[in-house]
Amino acid sequence: MTKLLLALFVKNYPDGKNPQVRSAIGIMAGITGICCNVLLFVGKLICGLIAGSVSIIADAANNLSDAASSGITFLGFRLARRPADADHPYGHARYEYLSALVVSMVILLLGAELTRSAVGKIFHPQAPTFSWLTVGILVASIAVKLWLWRFYTALSRRIGSGVLAASGIDSRNDCIATLGVLAGFLAERIFTFPVDGWIGLAVALFILWSGIGIARQTVSSLLGQRADPELTEKISRLVLSHEKILGIHDLLVHDYGPGQCFASLHAELSAQEDPLTCHDIIDDIECDALHELNVHLVIHYDPVEVNDEERNQMQAQVEEIVQKIHPGLSVHDFRIVRGAKQTKLVFDLAVPYGVRRSHRQWKEDIDEKLQEKGISYGTVIRFDGK
């Protein structure tokens, strides 16, 4: 069934990165999740009440939260496809992140309530009533959740959706949780040991753990996490594939939600090239980035004096020095400013995030190493992260 649904959407919507396609697939996934989880909730709730099992009721409540999560996912995809407007010029794609955050809050609230109920059952145990019908429903639930796991995972890969990926992980976790409930239910019948409350507590803690994980990932996206290394590599390869591009630096990627990615970078071209030719090259690259990667790219043109022998020698010297100081450092925008009193080496120094050292210390080390080499030029260094 998963392959059939995917084949249908691949045929009718071949471009999985298109915002309208994302919306259609996300809405379909949300409706599917609502239907499956509501059916599972009703079946488990009835069995849990008949058997008097807090762990089965907890598992049923988990399915209800999953149905609510699917509804929020459905709503999030609907809102995310709204076009840009005067107040939101970058679109509304971050609604997808907000929907995932709401889902995590629902999961956390549910986990907290189930923890309270399970603890009460531990202190006041009561053996559940055994029924093979209950066993059958739990087994069927595991099968449905396994299918949903594959379904969500396949769709998330198709459109690159973090929300659907999280739903897939949640469905996989539900399989494990329901398997634990089933094991506990059978164990009580065989060993007559009151484990129902403990199984319910384990399921509740598992739900809390899943909610925390989804919340952390979503908050990170909303705060502005570092760009996907694979995407930055693709952007770099695309720009550097043009033969007149000598190098790039200061690549920044801004994520305004799935399908709304904006980036900027500095591209180095020979100062001997015609500026109009450079402008045309940059325009072509920006168009290619939008067409091939769905990235709105803005490129700043940096002219480089490739025929200045002194400049080239000094840059090589500085690059050798900074590599010895720290292998993660890199130099760009290098030029020589010749003044009446002193010649200065002006450049940008990219320092890896997480390296705790003051800018003054970096500069002092570089100046000292230059003096050791007999280079009396001053330095003007601009620092940025990478």
Q: Domains, the chain, ranges and CATH? A: 2-223 (1.20.1510.10), 229-304 (3.30.70.1350), 309-385 (3.30.300.30)
pLDDT of residue 129: 66
Element (H, E) at 298: strand 295-304
Sign (positive or negative) of CA dihedral 338, 339, 340, 343 = negative
Q: CA 239 to CA 91: how far, in whole Å?
A: 26
Give the percent of the chain with pLDDT over 70.
91
pLDDT of residue 259: 67
Task: Give me the mean pLDDT over the 180-201 stretch.
Answer: 74
Q: CA 163 to CA 217: how far, in whole Å?
A: 10
Q: Of the candidates 96, 103, 101, 51, which has an alpha carbon nearest to the alpha carbon of residue 77?
A: 96
Concatenated DSSP letters of 165-197: HHHHHHHHHHHHHHHHHHHHHHHHHHH----HH
- In three-state secondary structure terms, 199 is helix
More confidently predicted of 55 and 362: 362
Concatenated DSSP letters of 29-97: HHHHHHHHHHHHHHHHHHHHHHHT-HHHHHHHHHHHHHHHHHHHHHHHHHHHTSPP-SS-TT-STTHHH
Contact predicate 179/143, CB 8 Å: no
Question: If phi over 0 gives left and psi between -120 and 50 gives alpha, with beta otherwise, what is residue 166?
Answer: alpha
Measured in whole angstroms, how far is the alpha carbon of residue 104 from the centre of its chain?
Answer: 15
pLDDT band at 343 (very low <50, low <70, confident <90, very high): confident
Query: Residue 277 corresponds to which tokens in the numbers above?
Result: 């030719």
131: pLDDT strictly greater than 70: yes
287-300: b or e for each residue (b if 16 or more CB lie within 10 Å)?
ebbeeebbbbbebe
Measured in whole angstroms, how far is the alpha carbon of residue 146 from the centre of its chain?
Answer: 23
10: pLDDT strictly greater than 70: no
Q: Of the candidates 61, 90, 96, which has an alpha carbon nearest to the alpha carbon of residue 78?
A: 96
Query: Residue 238 corresponds to which tokens in the numbers above?
Result: 């695309």
User: What pLDDT, in 10s, does the model give residues 273-326?
Assistant: 998 999 999 999 999 999 888 899 999 988 888 888 888 899 999 999 999 999
SS3 sequence, 253-289?
EEECCCCCEEEEEEEEEECCCCHHHHHHHHHHHHHHH
Residue 269: strand pairing partners: 303
pTM over cut 0.85: no
More confidently predicted of 156 and 194: 156
User: What pLDDT, in 10s, does the model give residues 213-264?
Assistant: 878 877 877 777 777 788 889 999 999 998 899 888 888 888 877 667 889 9
